[in-house]
A and B are shown apart, each in its own frame.
Chain A
Amino acid sequence: MRKFRWFILGMWLAILLGAIGIIISTKFESTLSEFLPKSPGVQQEILNEQLRNGVLSRKILVGIEGGDAVARARISAQMVLDLGKTKQFEFVSNGNAGVSSKIYSYLYTHRYLLSAATRPQLFSVKGLHDAIERTLNVLATPGGESVEALFPSDPTGAMIGMVKGMSGMPKPRVRDGVWVSPTGNTALLLLQTRFSGSDSDAQQQAIVTIKKIFSLAQTKMGKSGKNTSLQLTGVGVIAVAARNTIVHAAEWMSLISGTLIVMLLLFVYRSVAVLAFGLIPVISGVIVGIAAVSLGFGRVYDITLGFGTALIGEAVDYSIYFFVQAGRVATGAELWVKTYWPIIRLGVFTSVIGFASLLFSNLPGLSQLGLYAITGLLTAAGVTRFVLPRLPLRHFKEYDLVRLGDIRLDVMPMLSSARWVVISLAVIASGILVVHRDHIWNHELSALSPVPKADQLLYAKLRKDMGIPDAGHLLVVSGATLNRALEKASKIDPLLEQLQASGIIGGFQTPTRFLPSVGSQVERRSALPPENILNARLGEAVRGLPVSASLFSPFVRELERERRLTPLTYADLPASIRQIVDSMLVHHGQEWSVLLPVIAPPSGRVDPKAVQAIMAQHHVDDVMFVDVSGATNTLYYGYIRNGLKLSLAGVLGIIVLLLVVFRSVTRVIRIMLPLIAAVLSVAAGFVVMGVELNIMNLIGLMLIVAVGSNYALFFDRSGQMNEESSSRTLVSLVIANLATVSGFAPLAFSGVPVLQAIGATVAPGVILALLFSASLVERRKVIVQQTL
């Protein structure tokens, strides 16, 4: 062990320092979408882009609750005033600052360029006559007075048509001059940050600003503002909250499990120095693991750290094996390397094969986890093998472990007679899983979300109150330029109107209502007759109608003005219009996509076939119909399947490795059976309790195999050891098992869904794996033990 001592220690330190150097310059990222797939197709890419950096991700929905309606309205108004002064938001509104009147006057001043009804026929004598008559009929009908003031300047009803088209657009209610929820109990504000929702630090700052401004407004209100409270939600807000929750939970859980493990190890080792040495492999593993992820992916997700550290918790076991099995270090280390290291090495390889399946996952988050766990484990094992024996460990006082070892003599026969229990458990568990095979996996993306249910619900509620439609159905058209994409969208608009008229859809939104393509604008502009011609035609057109042409001089003036307008471009849009248009545009790579959200009819379901049929009928073939929730869920279902395939491949890989090493089918079966039985039992347990498994549970199940394989391998070899070694082995396994359970069990109570899933899977799983492995030890060996 003295050989190469300084060389190896020096190399180890150099690697650690290098890794720390890499970590210092690493970018740590926290976004909500890291468990979204990498590039599963154009549709998903568009949705991801929209979720990551799109306008939706920049929206913050604010609710003010409590107090009375007047207090809420005044706080709302004050907040809009103060938030507008900060530079963090590009859009702030509570419905008060005349947003709708700004939208209205934009539509009004460009009505003939924006209206799809602008065609040459409309401005013929007959066209004008018919249009004026139609508008007069609207005027005559009860309620028609609302168009009275418009009549002289818009007798053809261009505004009526446009506003009618938009009437399907949901919008929040207004009370006391501000937006409120349908119940009226919450005042609503809509903000849009300048920074993308995935920029969590900027979002965090925005949240702090909003909270500060709210409490200022609250204080200003005095008594009546006292009982009001603030609600914040939005993609960015949720991402920040999720990050904070996860970081908090991860901190707490590492503290709790760390304390438990340290206490356990102190109890076993009875030496702080040994404890410190015992943690060296894990810490080295963590450091090198993070550095490897940083090198491999260019950045490290916060969540990887949280989960990954739990994953390589297995590495704590290595030093436990080393210290407990090696016994007196002076002579033990070399013996350990000979007797036990091959078993551990094999255990490490089985775990690595298991984690390798994560590496190939199409979720960037999961492949990071895989890389982290693999490099972490290899490093920890290597450090245990090469560095630990070369460290000056003179303080290790061997605790009398024989007493613990004796228990084996009583327990082992009992366990080994329980082998049929294990086998029947495995059979029963398989039976349960087969019966419930359709309900094992949760196919909803939200199951994976690190966002607590309450936050998801608040987001859904305020979104609904604000009238931001659920991501239901979208039509997507793309083009090389924004104008090209808008041109395509304008071809779809009339088809969607048909669908709306026939009740297949309830309505739709399109950016072309606010920003038509340059082509359509030019075409419409050329349809507008010059002043003198229009005047002449109007004179003829009003014959037989109860109006005189002179009434329409505002109309003639306006038309002439619009005839001279240059076509509107994206850059001309005022902020309130731009934010509407932006929410329907995605710029990705070299392409622009226009999203046309489709509102469901009263039946609540849009028939995709009917929509696709009418598109095909009119030879519009480059349009995508996306069922957003369906698409994301199908996609998630896709990577649950992918994950399952990879896990099965991992298990197969482990079996092949063992077959190659042992060249004995029965031996491999004996090693694998308890692990598979443990996995099946845990999965069946979840199913029986009515919990559907998600991808995190799947990772947990794989961890059971990864950690459990060490137990199974040790039990497999224990027959060939003498009694002392055997009892040492058993003791080390029990302690390692306790350490793993202490590491994972607290996660089950963390309150973060994903962490809970891992904890609740691994903790019971590794206990079962240990018990099952013990009971499947070859009977002959137990008999030998007993006769000794």
Chain B
Amino acid sequence: MSDECRQLELHAAITAPGISILYPGSLLFRRRLYLPRRYAIGAVLAFFLAASLMTQAVYAADWNITQLMHALAQVKSGHASFVETKYIGFLDKPIQSSGNMRFVSPDMLEMHTIKPSDQVMLVQGDVLTIDKHAIQLEDHPELLAFVDSIRGVLAGNTELLERYFTLSLKGEENSWSLTLVPKQNDFAKLIKHISVGGIGQMVRSIEIVKVNHDWSLISISNSSSP
């Protein structure tokens, strides 16, 4: 019940629906769902793990987080389309949304969802706005941690990322995967880890795995730097 209670309180604090990108724990996860998928993921992960271990051994000398961050920091702005797929325990099927996103270094991020319904979410500095309802990120540290994880990667800001996460890098320059494991307790209660995948200086996917095994995948395509 305590989780639900916290969820209520969070709601009340925000007082507008759908504002929180925070992934609060839910006790309603049903284990019976998704078993096949989870096995599949396990297999894929194992494969990549092995592969990455090999590649890491090979490239460790000349490809590291500092270099990745440096490369990411070169991209000052970009826009792309995204598809977010959410795998929620109590649903029979994943649900999807899609739209366009825009990033301007260092701290402006906009996600304009077109399907299934129109919604503009804008993060600028300390303020998160969803359809004109603004909330102060500083008032919600967990939310800030999440927003900063994405902004930190897009802006190539190692310092910001290390404030909340332990970083580990896998892969090579043309196919890398950066895993962020939360340090902070509040956030760690909800999020297991966030994996960001990309090619060169382009971010291609953001995968968020929650403690309750719900997860979501944001695929990013047609990225360009104007």
Please list the residues of chain A having a beta carbon within 8 angstroms of any beta carbon in chain B.
Answer: 98, 100-101, 103-105, 108, 136-152, 157, 159-160, 163-164, 166-167, 169, 171, 173-175, 184, 546-548, 551
Contacts and interface: CB of A to CB of B under 8 A. Distances in A.
A147 B130 CA distance: 14
A140 B214 CA distance: 13
Contacts of A169: 15
A546 B15 contact: no
Interface stretch (B114-122, B158-166, B177-185, B196-204): B114-122
Contacts of A148: 23-24, 26, 88, 214
A137 B116 contact: yes
The 4 closest A-B pairs by CB, nearest first: A104-B12, A146-B20, A100-B12, A546-B93
Nearest to B208: A145
A138 B18 contact: yes
A547 B119 CA distance: 24
Contacts, number: 126
B16 interface: yes
B15 A146 contact: no
A138 B24 contact: no
A574 to B, nearest CB: 14
Contacts of B15: 100, 163, 166-167, 169, 171
B108 to A, nearest CB: 16
B111 A142 contact: yes
A142 B17 contact: no
Given A137-B116, A138-B18, A145-B20, A163 B11 contact: yes
A147 B17 contact: yes
B138 A175 contact: yes
B133 A145 contact: no
Interface in B7-42: 7-24, 26, 28
Contact of B12 (A103, A136, A173): A103
A145 B17 contact: no
Given A139-B86, A163-B17, A171-B15, A100 B9 contact: yes
B57 interface: no
Nearest to A548: B92
A101 B97 contact: no
Nearest to B91: A546
A715 to B, nearest CB: 71
Nearest to B84: A142
B136 interface: yes
A139 B139 contact: no
A137 B24 contact: no
16 contacts: A101-B5, A136-B116, A138-B18, A139-B88, A139-B95, A141-B116, A142-B97, A142-B121, A143-B121, A146-B11, A152-B90, A163-B11, A164-B16, A173-B139, A546-B93, A547-B92
A160 B20 CA distance: 13
B139 A175 contact: yes
Contacts of B21: 142-143, 145-146
A624 to B, nearest CB: 29
Nearest to A104: B12
Contact of B17 (A138, A140, A152, A175): A138
A150 B18 CA distance: 12
A173 B18 CA distance: 19
Given A101-B12, A139-B86, A144 B18 contact: yes
A137 B117 contact: yes
Interface string B75-96: 0000000001010101111111
Contact of A149 (B28, B96, B117): B28
Contacts of B139: 173-175
A184 B14 CA distance: 18
Contacts of B26: 148-149
Contacts of A103: 12
B3 interface: yes
A143 B9 contact: no
Interface string B99-134: 000000000000101001101010000000010010
B4 interface: yes
A143 B18 contact: yes
A137 B9 CA distance: 23
Nearest to B21: A143
Nearest to A151: B90
Contact of B18 (A100, A136, A146, A546): A146
Given A149-B4, A149-B24, A140 B13 contact: no
Interface in B200-224: 214
Contact of A143 (B19, B24, B92, B138): B19
Contacts of A147: 17-18
Interface in B51-87: 84, 86
Nearest to B95: A140
Contacts of A141: 18, 97, 113, 116-117, 119
B202 to A, nearest CB: 20
A146 B19 contact: yes
Residue with the greatest number of chain A CB neighbours at <10 A, chosen from B11, B14, B24, B28: B11
A7 B22 CA distance: 91
B58 to A, nearest CB: 37
Given A138-B18, A142-B119, 6 more contacts: A101-B9, A152-B28, A152-B90, A163-B17, A173-B138, A546-B91
Given A139-B86, A145-B23, A163 B16 contact: yes
B90 A547 contact: yes
Contacts of B117: 137-138, 141
Contacts of A157: 17
B4 to A, nearest CB: 6
B99 to A, nearest CB: 8
A403 B4 CA distance: 95
Contact of A547 (B3, B17, B91, B113): B91
B13 A174 contact: yes
B22 A146 contact: yes
A567 B26 CA distance: 31
A490 B3 CA distance: 35
Residue with the greatest number of chain B CB neighbours at <10 A, chosen from A101, A151, A171, A174: A101
A698 to B, nearest CB: 47
A175 B138 CA distance: 7
A337 B111 CA distance: 94
A548 B93 CA distance: 11
Given A100-B13, A145-B21, A146-B17, A108 B8 contact: yes
Residue with the greatest number of chain B CB neighbours at <10 A, chosen from A137, A139, A149: A149
Contacts of B97: 140-142, 144
Contacts of A551: 28, 90
Nearest to A174: B139
Contacts of A173: 136, 138-139
B95 A136 contact: yes
A146 B24 contact: yes
A398 to B, nearest CB: 80
Contacts of A166: 15
Contacts of A171: 15
B143 to A, nearest CB: 10
Contacts of B96: 140
A547 B33 CA distance: 12
Nearest to B97: A140
Contacts of A546: 91-95
A173 B139 CA distance: 6
A143 B20 contact: yes
B3 to A, nearest CB: 7
A167 B16 contact: yes
Contacts of B17: 138, 146-147, 157, 159-160, 163-164
Contacts of A105: 8
Given A101-B8, A139-B86, A145 B16 contact: no
A108 B111 CA distance: 30
A104 B14 contact: no
A141 B9 CA distance: 21
A88 to B, nearest CB: 27
Nearest to A552: B90
B116 A167 contact: no
A144 B116 CA distance: 12
A543 to B, nearest CB: 12
